[in-house]
């Protein structure tokens, strides 16, 4: 049984297959490959993009989807998450997609080996499908030439599961990653080049991935004034000038703090392209986990 807790569970071949299937699905809507399959989502944290993107992806492949609203579930009556998961698995879904504030929740459920588990974002540990859609966005834009690409990740890196997953996956693909953040947002230990000012990297990067300040993960407020933060870290026209740097952001974007209104409308900005690609990438991930990687039922031989 294959799970997706983070992309290190994927072989090089599987990553290539995901990129290839994504490109194919984008060009031509596939047959309902997952007709008769059922997925259950369990989102313990808010989501706009990931949850709806998984649902669109599943439906485009002919699968059904059931959403359990954790705020109305029996976890509120004291049922453990493992018991909730086991009860959902007793309904025989083909996969469970989970988002949770704890880093190890998807891996704990995956270790129960009841059904393929897909991590839709866990704490500040991992967000594998975001990393895959970010990778695909680069792969498409740079015509497959990922090796040696220079990416700067800017913002609240220490609290970002997107940064954590992007860094692991991008380095594996030969992409050179640098980190730009004020000290409270910078990981204390990292072997990646670190900078405090964006201006230090502007002439040496192909891509900037801007991140939102993850206020919900700050135990106490880190900055009193996010306008002062924005004056140093917001991606603006004045900062970029005519440099051909691609601008990405996983969303939700804090306008004029992470990225200015003007840059969000600029052709260099890939934010909505990332969301569009996310559907096709998740279609490819669902195909991989539910179809390509499943053990063959002896009755089917
Ligand atoms: N990128 C991302 O995870 O967005 P959502 O929180 O809206 O799913």
Q: How confident is the model at residue 82 (pLDDT cuts 50, 70, 90)?
A: very high
Do 152 and 208 contact (CB within 8 A), yes or no? yes
Pocket-testing residue among 41, 42, 47, 281, ligand 1, by greatest number of atoms within 8 A of Cβ: 47
Q: What is the pLDDT of residues 254-284, one digit of tens each?
A: 999 999 999 999 999 999 999 999 999 999 9
CA of residue 192 to ligand 1 center, whole Å = 25
Label residue 295 by pLDDT band (50, 70, 90).
Answer: low
Q: Are residues 80 and 137 in the same domain?
A: no
Does residue 263 fall inside a structural domain? yes
| Pocket, ligand 1, Cβ cutoff 6 A | 47-50, 121, 127, 130, 250-252
Q: Are residues 69 and 150 in the same domain?
A: no
Domain co-membership, 114 together with 220: no
pLDDT score of 299: 55
CA of 120 to the centre of ligand 1 (A): 9
pLDDT of amino acid 301 = 44
Same domain for 77 and 15:
yes
| Ligand 1 pocket test target in 41, 49, 216 with most atoms within 8 Å of CB | 49
- CATH label of the domain that carries residue 116: 3.40.50.1370
pLDDT at 132 over 70: yes
Asked if the model's pLDDT at residue 224 lies above 90, the reply is no
Report the pLDDT value the prediction gives residue 47, as an integer from 0 to 100.
Answer: 97
pLDDT at 226 over 60: yes
Q: Which domain holds residue 221?
A: 128-273
In a domain? residue 176: yes
Q: How many domains does the chain have?
A: 2
Reply yes or no on whether the pLDDT at 92 is more than 50.
yes
Taking a C-beta distance cutoff of 8 angstroms, is the pair 287, 61 a contact? yes
96 Cβ neighbours under 8 A, 6+ residues apart: 39, 40, 41, 42, 85, 88, 89, 109, 115, 116, 117, 118
Nearest ligand 1 atom, CA 120: 3
Q: Is residue 1 part of a domain?
A: no
Q: Are 155 and 247 in a shared domain?
A: yes
Name which residue sits closest to atom 5 of ligand 1, judged by CA.
Answer: 47
Question: What average pLDDT score do residues 279-297 get?
Answer: 88
Say yes or no to pLDDT of 297 above 70. no
pLDDT value at position 94?
Answer: 98
Give the 3-state secondary structure of the chain.
CCCECCHHHCCHHHHHHHHHHHHHHHHCCCCCCCCCCEEEEEECCCCCHHHHHHHHHHHHCCCEEEEECHHHCHHHHCCCHHHHHHHHHCCCCCEEEEEECCCCHHHHHHHCCCCCEEEEEECCCECHHHHHHHHHHHHHHCCCCCCCCEEEEECCCCCCHHHHHHHHHHHHCCCEEEEECCHHHCCCCCCCCEECCHHHCHHHCCEEEECCCCHHHCCCCCCCCHHHHHHHHCECHHHHCCCCCEEECCCCCCECCCECHHHHCCCCECHHHHHHHHHHHHHHHHHHHHHHCCCCCHHHC
Q: Best substitution site from 133, 251, 272, 276 to test ligand 1's pocket, by max atoms within 8 Å of Cβ?
A: 251
For residue 159, how many other CB atoms are within 10 A of its CB?
22
Look up the pTM and report it. Answer: 0.95
Q: Per-residue pLDDT for 218 more than 90?
A: no
Average pLDDT of the residues of the chain: 95
Q: Are residues 72 and 179 in the same domain?
A: no
Atom 3 of ligand 1: nearest residue by CA position: 50
pLDDT at 219 over 80: no
Is residue 194 a part of any domain in this protein?
Answer: yes
**What is the model's pLDDT at position 87?**
97
Q: Give the residue, by CA position, lying nearest to ligand 1 atom 1.
A: 250
94-111: average pLDDT: 98
Residue in 43, 123, 156, 252 to alter for ligand 1 test, most ligand atoms within 8 A of Cβ: 252
Compute, in angstroms, the gap from residue 49 CA to the centroid of ligand 1: 5
> For atom 6 of ligand 1, which residue has the closest CA?
47
Looking at residues 36-58, what average pLDDT do you find? 97
Given a cut of 60, is residue 298 above it in pLDDT? no
Asked if residue 108 and residue 65 are part of one domain, the reply reads yes
């Amino acid at each position: 049984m294959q799970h997706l807790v983070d992309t290190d569970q994927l072989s090089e071949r599987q990553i290539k297959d995901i990129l290839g299937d994504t490109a194919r699905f984008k060009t031509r809507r596939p047959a309902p490959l997952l007709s008769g399959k059922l997925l259950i989502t369990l989102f313990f944290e808010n989501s706009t993009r990931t949850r709806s993107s998984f649902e669109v992806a599943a439906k485009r492949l002919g699968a059904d989807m059931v959403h359990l609203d954790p705020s109305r579930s029996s976890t509120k009556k004291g049922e453990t998450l493992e018991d909730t998961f086991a009860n959902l698995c007793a309904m025989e879904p083909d996969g469970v997609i989970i988002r949770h504030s704890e880093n190890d929740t998807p891996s704990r459920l995956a270790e129960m080996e009841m059904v393929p588990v897909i991590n839709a974002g866990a704490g500040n540990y991992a967000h594998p499908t975001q990393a895959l859609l970010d990778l695909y966005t680069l792969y498409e834009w740079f015509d497959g030439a990922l090796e040696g690409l220079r990416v700067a990740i800017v913002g609240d890196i220490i609290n970002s599961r997107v940064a954590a997953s992007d860094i692991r996956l991008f380095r594996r693909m030969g992409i050179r990653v640098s980190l730009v953040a004020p000290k409270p947002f910078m990981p204390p230990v990292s072997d990646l080049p670190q900078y405090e000012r964006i201006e230090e990297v502007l002439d040496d990067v192909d891509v900037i991935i801007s991140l939102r300040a993850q206020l919900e993960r700050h135990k106490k407020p880190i900055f009193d004034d996010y306008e002062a933060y924005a004056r140093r870290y917001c991606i603006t026209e004045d900062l970029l000038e005519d440099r051909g740097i691609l601008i990405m952001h996983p969303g939700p974007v804090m306008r004029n703090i992470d990225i200015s209104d003007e840059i969000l409308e600029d052709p260099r900005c890939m934010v909505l392209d990332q969301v569009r690609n996310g559907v096709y990438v998740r279609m490819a991930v669902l195909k991989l986990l539910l179809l390509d990687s499943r053990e063959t039922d002896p009755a089917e031989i």
